[in-house]
């Protein structure tokens, strides 16, 4: 049974406080105090004792004199040591002429090896120890991560340091990465889901936005080895990196090791992303023809909010009741009652340092495309105009608060959340604020934010599908703007 995750809360929400986890419990009533399950006539009679007391272990935070921040989290359950270094600067910071460089950089950083060892030699060395050292690119950062059996840490750690200090970016691996990204470009119009994702991003943020633009053959071809070396130099220095490590080690001893490794690294000029301007999407109906499918992917988008918006908590509750789980309005009405879709959901998006993307989406058979658009629109209108019920708000809040404990269900998760908040400059008690914020949300709050942030008239509606089988022409909804997804050919 598919369920979409809560739309905008990163799974990893946690911080350094000792928590009183909010939890409802239900004392054993006389009626339910029975040894026979047969007497139970309602789930409400099943007793729920108080939750075991729990103080999640917090990572130790160390800031080196050169500005590098390190988090250490001991976890002795398994004989492993895992870690990650997050480096500021990512895909959104790549120049428009060289899009794709983020992937090429992160791939060939690892596969291109170091001055003394080729990437293939590193592969053999690591695989024989069942260890991993990998690199990856995100919108705002690059990641270098590793995992090994604890006894192999002292052999694997020098590989991590060598990659940071002496990356070689060998040309054959740059070429391999470029061929791979070009192959991926050639495949990007094969499946409707990814087409809808890509094109709706462009509608929400604008086609040239750092949060929506895509690599092309020409921009990939423009990337050269010097670009990668320059990027590395520009981003890899002590106060632009954050390190998190977890596993079966002694934190004090590990801290010494890491201080030895990074203590004498120089500081640099902190990386700054260029400020981006955000504009509302142009409302209307947009269409991509795909004549080899029998299902339409419908996506309605708008700009969302930043995570530090005080209305965030009310929107979380609204998202939960509108497009969150099994009992949300979109799921119940579009899927369960109308049988129009397997996949349906959505809500107001929030991101840490820029507006998230509001997205409502549904996939339905070609012959109910218009019906599904109307049905989702009706739900959106009802949300804005019709208000919400007390019982819905309670149910949504209960769901968020009763499952809050899962934000702490592993030491690694607590570590990852802590790093995330630190990275984006959010306060250490962000999680506590989240819980308290959600607890305070009222029906009036949800109704107010629904009116303020859900804009039916401003939505850009994208349909990817097979128009000859639609129940009604899309022009029923007004002017239709066709989108040409032809892949621009490679430069000669």
Q: Toward another protein, which CB reaches closer, 272 or 486?
A: 486
Least distance (Å) between residue 455 CB and another protein: 28
Q: Toward another protein, which CB reaches closer, 3 or 389?
A: 3
**CA–CA separation, 216 and 207 (whole Å):** 13
Among 250, 263, 389, 406, which residue sits at the site for another protein (rule: CB under 8 A)?
406
329-348 residues in contact with another protein (CB under 8 A) are 331-332, 335-343
Among 31, 46, 252, 282, which residue sits at the site for another protein (rule: CB under 8 A)?
46
Among 402, 428, 452, 455, which residue sits at the site for another protein (rule: CB under 8 A)?
402
Strands 241-247 and 80-88 come out as antiparallel
65-94 residues in contact with another protein (CB under 8 A) are 77-80
Q: Toward another protein, which CB reaches closer, 84 or 241?
A: 84
**CA–CA separation, 300 and 440 (whole Å):** 30
Binding of another protein at residue 226 (CB under 8 A)?
no
Per CB under 8 A, which region of 66-74, 97-105, 218-226, 293-301 contacts another protein?
293-301
Among 18, 41, 116, 272, which residue sits at the site for another protein (rule: CB under 8 A)?
41
169-188 residues in contact with another protein (CB under 8 A) are 176, 179-180, 182-187
* Binding mask of the shown chain, residues 414 to 453, with x at each position contacting another protein by CB under 8 A: ----------------------------------------
358-397 residues in contact with another protein (CB under 8 A) are 363-365, 395-396
Least distance (Å) between residue 313 CB and another protein: 18
Sheet containing strand 295-303, strands side by side: 344-347, 357-365, 295-303, 460-465, 284-289, 480-482
Per CB under 8 A, which region of 121-129, 203-211, 221-229, 416-424 contacts another protein?
121-129
Number of residues that bind another protein (CB under 8 A): 97
253-282 residues in contact with another protein (CB under 8 A) are none
**Dihedral (C-alpha) 177, 181, 187, 193: value to the nearest 10 degrees?**
120
Per CB under 8 A, which region of 59-67, 197-205, 230-238, 323-331 contacts another protein?
323-331
Q: Toward another protein, which CB reaches closer, 336 or 385?
A: 336
Helices 430-440 & 312-319 angle (0-180, nearest 10): 60
Per CB under 8 A, which region of 62-70, 88-96, 284-292, 353-361 contacts another protein?
284-292
Binding of another protein at residue 325 (CB under 8 A)?
yes
Least distance (Å) between residue 405 CB and another protein: 5
Beta strands in 322-377 (DSSP E): 344-347, 350-351, 357-365
Rounded to the nearest 5 degrees, what angle is found at the Cα of 436, between the Cα atoms of 432 and 439? 145
Least distance (Å) between residue 292 CB and another protein: 6
Least distance (Å) between residue 400 CB and another protein: 9
Least distance (Å) between residue 428 CB and another protein: 20
Q: Got the DSSP string for 392-458?
A: HHHHHHHHHHHTGGGGGSSHHHHHHHHHHHHHHT--TTHHHHHHHHHHH--HHHHHHHHHHH--GGG
**CA–CA separation, 87 and 6 (whole Å):** 27
183-212 residues in contact with another protein (CB under 8 A) are 183-187, 189-192
**CA–CA separation, 386 and 379 (whole Å):** 10
Binding of another protein at residue 130 (CB under 8 A)?
yes
Q: Toward another protein, which CB reaches closer, 12 or 338?
A: 338
**CA–CA separation, 484 and 288 (whole Å):** 7
Rounded to the nearest 5 degrees, what angle is found at the Cα of 438, between the Cα atoms of 437 and 444? 95
Q: Three-state SS for 354?
A: coil
Which residues neighbour 225 within 8 Å (Cβ) at sequence distance 6 or greater? 169, 171, 174
Which residues neighbour 2 within 8 Å (Cβ) at sequence distance 6 or greater? 342, 343
Give the other-Cβ count within 10 Å of 457's Cβ.
6
**CA–CA separation, 333 and 341 (whole Å):** 10
Binding of another protein at residue 469 (CB under 8 A)?
no
Per CB under 8 A, which region of 99-107, 405-413, 423-431, 453-461 contacts another protein?
405-413
How far CA 157 is from CA of 79, 118, 260, 390, in Å, comes to 16, 17, 12, 55
Least distance (Å) between residue 430 CB and another protein: 20
**CA–CA separation, 355 and 32 (whole Å):** 49
Per CB under 8 A, which region of 143-151, 265-273, 443-451, 470-478 contacts another protein?
143-151
89-118 residues in contact with another protein (CB under 8 A) are 111
Which residues neighbour 320 within 8 Å (Cβ) at sequence distance 6 or greater? 6, 328, 396, 397, 399, 400
Least distance (Å) between residue 151 CB and another protein: 8
Q: Toward another protein, which CB reaches closer, 276 or 336?
A: 336
**CA–CA separation, 371 and 471 (whole Å):** 8
């Amino acid at each position: 049974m598919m369920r979409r995750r809560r739309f905008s809360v990163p799974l990893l929400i946690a911080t350094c406080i000792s928590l009183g986890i909010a939890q409802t419990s239900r004392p054993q009533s006389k009626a339910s105090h029975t040894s026979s399950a047969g007497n139970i006539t309602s789930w409400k009679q099943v007793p729920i004792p108080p939750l075991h007391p729990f103080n999640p272990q917090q990572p130790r935070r160390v800031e080196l004199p050169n500005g590098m921040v390190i988090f250490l989290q001991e976890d002795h359950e398994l004989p492993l040591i895992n870690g990650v270094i997050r480096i500021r600067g990512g895909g959104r910071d790549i120049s428009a002429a060289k899009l794709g460089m983020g992937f090429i950089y992160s791939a060939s950083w690892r596969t291109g090896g170091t001055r003394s060892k080729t990437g293939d030699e590193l592969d053999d060395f690591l695989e024989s120890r069942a260890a991993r050292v990998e690199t990856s690119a995100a919108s705002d950062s690059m990641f270098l991560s590793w995992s090994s059996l604890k006894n192999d840490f002292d052999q694997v750690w020098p590989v991590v340091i060598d990659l940071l200090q002496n990356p070689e970016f060998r040309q054959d691996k740059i070429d391999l990465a470029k061929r791979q990204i070009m192959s991926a470009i050639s495949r990007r119009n094969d499946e409707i889901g990814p087409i809808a994702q890509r094109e709706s991003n462009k509608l929400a943020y604008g086609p040239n936005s750092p949060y929506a633009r895509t690599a092309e053959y020409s921009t990939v071809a423009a990337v050269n080895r010097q670009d990668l070396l320059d990027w590395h130099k520009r981003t890899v220095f002590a106060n632009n990196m954050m390190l998190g490590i977890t596993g079966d080690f002694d934190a004090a001893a590990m801290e010494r090791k890491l201080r030895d490794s990074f203590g004498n690294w120089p500081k640099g000029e902190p990386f700054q992303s260029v400020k981006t301007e955000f504009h509302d999407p142009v409302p209307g109906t947009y269409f991509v023809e795909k004549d080899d499918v029998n299902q339409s992917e419908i996506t309605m988008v708008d700009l969302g909010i930043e995570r530090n918006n005080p209305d965030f908590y009310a929107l979380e509750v609204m998202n939960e009741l509108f497009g969150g789980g099994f009992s949300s309005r979109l799921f119940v009405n579009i899927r369960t009652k109308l049988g129009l879709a397997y996949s349906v959901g959505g809500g107001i998006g929030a991101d840490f340092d820029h507006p998230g993307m509001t997205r409502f989406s549904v996939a339905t058979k070609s012959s109910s495309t218009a019906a599904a658009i109307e049905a989702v629109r009706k739900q959106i209108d009802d949300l804005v105009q019709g208000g919400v019920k007390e019982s819905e708000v309670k149910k949504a809040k209960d769901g968020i608060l009763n499952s809050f404990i899962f934000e702490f269900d592993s030491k690694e998760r607590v570590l990852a959340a802590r790093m995330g908040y630190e990275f984006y400059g959010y306060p250490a008690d962000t999680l506590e604020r989240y819980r308290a914020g959600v607890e305070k949300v009222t029906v009036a709050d949800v109704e107010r934010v629904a009116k303020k942030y859900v804009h039916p008239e401003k939505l850009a509606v994208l349909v990817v599908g097979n128009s000859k089988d639609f129940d009604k022409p899309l022009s029923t909804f007004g002017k239709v703007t066709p989108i040409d997804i032809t892949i621009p050919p490679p430069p000669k």
